[in-house]
Amino acid sequence: MARFVTVEDAEGLERTFEQAKEGHAVLFLHDPWCPISTMAYEEMERVDAEVHVVDVSEQRTLSKDVQARTGIRHESPQVFVMAGGAVQWHASHGRIRKDAVGDAIQQAQPSPGG
């Protein structure tokens, strides 16, 4: 089962990206008011990994920071699997499934030289 870590501020987001440089990190952008995001959250609960969660309804600045750092357009719900400091896989909406995320984590590899 997932171990959720709430990302509350820019420092927490920085720690998540630093973790992704050293190994891998899973980042989930979640809007608790959105039914589609609630379904994605239920899938993420079943992922056997630490999952860093940004509540986009409360932390809009952080979701914009994620977009700027990854170069990937914000679409909550959205999940990123990062390794070696780079996004290895991402999905949004109905593509967020326990098995897909788990497979992406298993396949996540550091970038060359990382």
| The domain defined by 3-107 carries CATH number 3.40.30.10 | yes
Q: What is the mean pLDDT of residues 85-102?
A: 96
Domain boundaries of the chain, sorted by first residue = 3-107
Region 16-29 average pLDDT: 95
pTM: 0.93
User: Which pLDDT value is given to residue 2?
Assistant: 85
Calculate the alpha carbon distances from 83 to 37, 58, 59, 67, 89 in Å: 24, 26, 24, 17, 9
Residue 1 has a pLDDT of 84
Residues 6+ positions from 27 with CB-CB distance below 8 Å: 7, 16, 51, 52, 54, 66, 79, 80, 82
Query: Given a cut of 50, is residue 114 above it in pLDDT?
Result: no
Beta-bridge partner residues of 92: 78
